[in-house]
Structure 1
Amino acid sequence: MTHTNRRQFLAAGAAIAGAAVVSPLAALADSPKKPIIRIAVKYGMIGGSGSVREKFDLVKKIGYEGVEIDSPSGLNLKEAVAASQATGVKIHGVVDSVHWGKPLSSPDAAVRAEGLKALLGAIRDAKVVGADTVLLVPGVVNKDATYEQCYERSQVEVRKAIPLAEELGVKIAIETVWNNFITKPEQLIQYVDDLKSPAVGAYFDCSNMLKYGVPAETWIRKLGKRLFKFDFKAYNTDKAKSENNEWAGFKVEIGDGSENWPEILTALGELGYDGWATSEVGGGGEARLTDIYKRMAKVLGKA
């Protein structure tokens, strides 16, 4: 071997050896981050007549890490806290259960006052049970409220609740639903940002928003750190079209919808999402809740 060929041979060998060392690290650096997602269930989905503790024991046995409760409701909060502490099942959130009946967008000031009272109560209940969010549908666009009126009226009322939320360390999470109000990510971004408080953000529903044509992963990427939590179900656009019924799209099981979950998970990973995914479908007893859990775990890559 000539001196020149030997030098070339050694250089090539060094390059190959270096590639063997660097490539795995480079591949690891380029691999997408995985979101940290905890699986939860709405407390109202837990069927049967058992005690609060027995229901917490059941979801713990199945594998759920958390529950989300309604406020107001008939649930004894003291019992719920005790059951949570005993089982380790976190009460991670509270749903304002009055927001549809007493919308903050109502033209009636008395109705808006009742809606605000319920929101304040939900924030206080969240503090009691150790939850960090209150899910809120801020209003409804209908014959009683245009988009602009819904926006203006609800913003006024939500602002009244922000001081209490900030004081108690509870966040108000604006949910995306079929209320004819927020149908584009830019609208939700504006709604949250106009309130100018870190105590207000988004509670996203990947399935609800398929109706409006913008992919869930696009919503997630645009919302960024405004995204606090998300609900979990399924919506099949083909089924809705074939039956000529928008609501028929929900008549599928988790995992059988039109959601692009791999891309959704990629988008959540890009955000560094570390939080909850809560099932919002028809509940039942142990068999039904187990099936829901397994479906969620499979979709989320946790099976």
Structure 2
Amino acid sequence: MDQTRRDFVKTAAIGVGATVFGGSPLTQAAEEKRPRRNQGKIFKADKGGGIGSDEKGMIEKLEQYQSLGFDGLEGASPGIPDLNALNRAMKQTGMPVHGVVDMVHWKQRLSDPDPAVREIGRAALEQAVLDSKAIGGTTVLLVPGRVAGENETHDDVWKRSIVEIRKVVPVAKREKIKILVENVWNGFCETPDEFRDYIDEIDSEWVGVYFDIGNVRKFGKPEDWIRILGPRIGKLDVKDWGVENGFCRLGEGDVDWPAVREALAEINYTGWATREGRDNSLEDTANQMDILLDL
């Protein structure tokens, strides 16, 4: 991020913070009445760092995020100790868990050279689909594999993962849960055209993109990826990254947030935006997401 843009983001954050936490009544009223471009279109969530170990803890976790203005959380599969307890907690608080992250996909990869390992990964993906359905979610976040030498090349990841994902598509279709493939630092599909073509080759309405805004900044401009991937994008992971700071507090990296907002508007994106990572506090995360995504 150039210095001018970084200073602008910081100034904007300070300005909004002053309004919310002690600005004059007139400026505070004006800020509260200002139309938000994405309010009611983009819904703010967090990975949550675990949903809680029991129903009481789940209720407390959901209420904590609710009090900060979050619209929901995202869970993990495996990782939710009691699906029924979570359903009761969500009903009591009115806070949804909008989907789950497949937590097996890195270790038992769909691209592994060993078919037995790929089968474990496929079964885990199928279970994640069922877990998401059980809690009223809509998606599973999936990393399809990793480029890792001559036995796990880019072509191998492409072909092997597509075979395994297609095996789970009938279950996803039956349960009405989308499998969303995330762009990560796995050596795979590091251009938007490749990623688009990979998703298109799977050729299913039940498979799309979980677009990570910060991950892609290392390779290019998120706004360019958004325009190329277009309607394939089902949900957003919200991160910031910069050459100077690496992964960092939202607004302090090299992501051009106004350009991201513009690109999202162009593709008419509406849906969940989930923070992955930590800022100064949960309150800070909520505020930064509101500012940068205009929520």
Would you say same fold, with TM above 0.5? Answer: yes
1:233 CA drift (Å) = 1.6
Q: Provide the residue aligned with 2:290 in structure 1.
A: 297
| Corresponding residue to 1:66 among 68, 72, 80 | 72
CA contact (8 A) 1:34 1:266 kept: no
Name 2:184's counterpart in structure 1.
177
Give the superposition deviation at 1:79. 1.4
Structure 1 unmatched ranges of 5 or more:
1-32, 240-247
Contact 1:234/1:255 (8 A) holds in 2:
yes
SS of the residue corresponding to residue 292 of structure 1 reads helix
Measured in 1, the distance between the counterparts of 2:201 and 2:96 equals 31
Q: How far apart, CA to CA, are the structure 2 residues paired with 1:137 and 1:34?
A: 31
The CA deviation string for residues 226-280 of structure 1, in whole angstroms up to 9 with x for no partner, is 000110121112x1xxxxxxxx511x21111111111111111111111011000
Q: Secondary structure at the match of 2:281?
A: helix
Query: Residue 6 of structure 2 corresponds to which residue in structure 1?
Result: none
Q: Distance in 2 between matches of 1:282 and 1:263?
A: 23
In the alignment, is residue 108 of structure 1 matched against residue 114 of structure 2? yes
Q: Does 1:128 align with 2:125?
A: no
Alpha-carbon contact 2:52-2:58 (below 8 Å) kept: no
1:3 match: none
Task: Give the match for residue 16 of structure 2.
Answer: none
CA distance in 2, matches of 1:47, 1:118: 21
Q: Is the 8 A contact 2:209 2:233 kept in 1?
A: yes
1:53 aligns with 2:32: no
Query: By how many angstroms is 1:191 displaced?
Result: 1.0
CA distance in 1: counterparts of 2:225 and 2:258, whole angstroms: 15
**Separation in structure 2 between the aligned mates of residue 152 and residue 210 of structure 1, nearest angstrom:** 26
Q: Would the alpha carbon gap of residues 225 and 219 (structure 1) be closer, same or farther in structure 2, given more than 3 Å must change?
A: same
Does residue 44 of structure 1 match 2:49?
yes
Structure 2 residue 276 is matched with structure 1 residue 280: yes
Q: Is the partner of 2:148 in helix, strand or coil? A: coil
What is the Cα deviation at residue 47 of structure 1?
A: 8.7
| Residues 45 and 281 in structure 1, CA contact (< 8 A), matched pair in contact too | no
Q: CA deviation at 1:154?
A: 0.6
Where 2:92 maps in the other structure, the secondary structure is: helix
Q: Say yes or no: does 1:266 pair with 2:259.
A: no
Letter in 1 for 2:60: E
1:1-39 alpha-carbon deviations (Å, 9 max, x no partner)? xxxxxxxxxxxxxxxxxxxxxxxxxxxxxxxx9442110
Unmatched segments (≥5 aa) in structure 2: 1-35
Whether contact under 8 Å (1:131, 1:170) holds in the other structure is yes
Query: Which one-letter code corresponds to 2:218 in the other structure?
Result: K
TM-score computed with the length of structure 2 as normaliser: 0.83
Shift of residue 282, structure 1, vs aligned partner:
3.3
The DSSP-based 3-state class of the residue aligned with 1:235 is strand
Q: Indicate the residue corresponding to 2:171 in structure 1.
A: 164
Local SS of the residue matching 2:137: coil
1:48, CA displacement in angstroms?
A: 10
Q: Within 5 Å, give how 1:70-149 maps onto structure 2.
A: 70-143=76-149, 144-149=151-156
Provide the rounded CA distance (Å) in 2 between the counterparts of 1:176 and 1:95: 13
Give the CA deviation at 1:142.
0.6
The structure that has the greater radius of gyration is: 1
1:224 alignment partner in structure 2: 230
Deviations for 1:204-224, whole angstroms, at most 9, x for unmatched residues?
A: 111111111x21011001111
Amino acid in the other structure paired with 1:168: E
AA aligned to 1:299 is: L
Distance 1:262 1:298 in 2: 10
Aligned CA-pair RMSD: 1.9
Over the matched positions of the two proteins, sequence identity in percent amounts to 40
Give me the TM-score of the superposition, normalised by structure 1.
0.81
CA gap of 1:47–1:290, structure 2 versus 1, over 3 A, is farther
Give the 3 Å change call, closer, same or farther, for CA 63–46 of structure 1 in structure 2: farther
Asked if structure 1 preserves the Cα contact closer than 8 Å seen for 2:45 and 2:273, the reply is yes
Aligned to 1:22: none
- Alpha-carbon distance in structure 1 between the residues aligned to 2:274 and 2:114: 33
Contact 1:175/1:205 (CA < 8 Å) preserved in 2? yes
Which residue does the alignment assign to 1:249? 246
Contact kept, 8 Å, 2:172 with 2:179, in 1: the verdict is: yes
Question: How many angstroms does 1:66 deviate by?
Answer: 0.9
1:199 corresponding residue in structure 2: 206
